[in-house]
């Protein structure tokens, strides 16, 4: 059974049962868990978005916490069945957060199907997660397609260190224009100064604050 301390850490990162409430408003106001990410939009021969692929590499402190809680046989490593359990728990708990993935076409949100699975690995003392998602309905490569990755609770920070970490691939790779948008935090804060109240940080369907800071990959066809 999870220790209470580690359970709280996993909960606030979205890696535990989603039925348990967040502990405080202030914990949602800034990130405590960090992951370096890669994002890929894959096109197909039909001129559609085939899938959106994710790779997340978590910071060593959080990774060590996960090792402590999921190393059920106490051999100081994560065996295949333990990694599978991590993937299953994450898959279940991130569903209510849309797997931190926001897909838009011409500024309008597009629904996505849940990933079939989340694959976990543990390499060089860091937890890695791999998964792919597809639009809920066939999505033509038309107009401006934008994908952002962010935790709406503001507890986990999913960061792209380099623009090359965001890719558009597949048969239409050279037929569309790709750009990476990185919002300036100072500009975001200045533009929303009047809205920065405690209620503004509350988790609800209308809170787009973390979305405003998210790095986005845009594809224009």
Work out the pLDDT band at 3, boundaries 50, 70, 90. Answer: very low
pLDDT of residue 4: 32
pLDDT tens for residues 157-198?
A: 999 999 999 999 999 999 999 999 998 766 766 666 666 555
State the chain's mean pLDDT as an integer.
Answer: 84
pLDDT at residue number 1: 30
Instruction: Give domain limits for the chain.
Output: 4-220
pLDDT confidence of residue 153: 86
Taking only the tens place, the pLDDT of each residue in 12-64 is: 444 433 322 323 333 445 688 999 999 999 999 999 999 999 999 999 999 99
| 24: phi then psi, degrees, rounded to nearest 5 | -145, 160
Q: Which residue has the tokens 């390499």?
A: 123
pTM over 0.85, yes/no: no
Q: Confirm if 216 and 180 have CB atoms less than 8 A apart.
A: yes
Write down the residue that tokens 């948008």 correspond to: 181
Question: Is residue 22 a contact partner of residue 12, using CB atoms and an 8 Å limit?
Answer: yes
Q: Specify the pLDDT at position 195.
A: 61
Q: Is the pLDDT of residue 205 over 90?
A: no
């Amino acid at each position: 059974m999870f220790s209470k301390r580690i359970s709280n850490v996993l909960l606030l990162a979205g890696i535990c049962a989603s039925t348990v409430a967040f502990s405080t408003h202030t914990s949602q106001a800034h990130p405590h868990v960090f992951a370096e990410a890669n994002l890929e939009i894959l096109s197909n021969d039909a001129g559609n978005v085939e899938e959106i692929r994710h790779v997340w590499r978590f910071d060593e402190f959080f990774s060590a916490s996960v090792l402590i809680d999921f190393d059920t046989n106490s051999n100081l490593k994560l065996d295949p069945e333990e990694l599978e359990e991590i993937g299953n728990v994450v898959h279940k708990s991130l569903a209510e957060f849309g797997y931190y993935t926001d897909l838009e076409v011409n500024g309008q949100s597009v629904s996505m199907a849940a990933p079939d699975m989340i694959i976990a690995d543990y390499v060089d003392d860091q937890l890695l997660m791999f998964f792919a998602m597809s639009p809920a309905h066939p999505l033509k490569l038309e107009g401006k397609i934008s994908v952002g990755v962010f935790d709406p609770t503001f507890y986990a920070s999913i960061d792209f260190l380099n623009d090359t970490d965001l890719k558009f691939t597949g048969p239409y790779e050279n037929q569309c224009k790709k750009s990476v948008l990185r919002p300036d935090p100072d500009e975001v804060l200045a533009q929303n100064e009047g809205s920065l109240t405690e209620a503004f940080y509350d988790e609800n369907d209308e809170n787009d604050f973390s979305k405003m800071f998210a790095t986005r990959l845009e594809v224009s066809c």
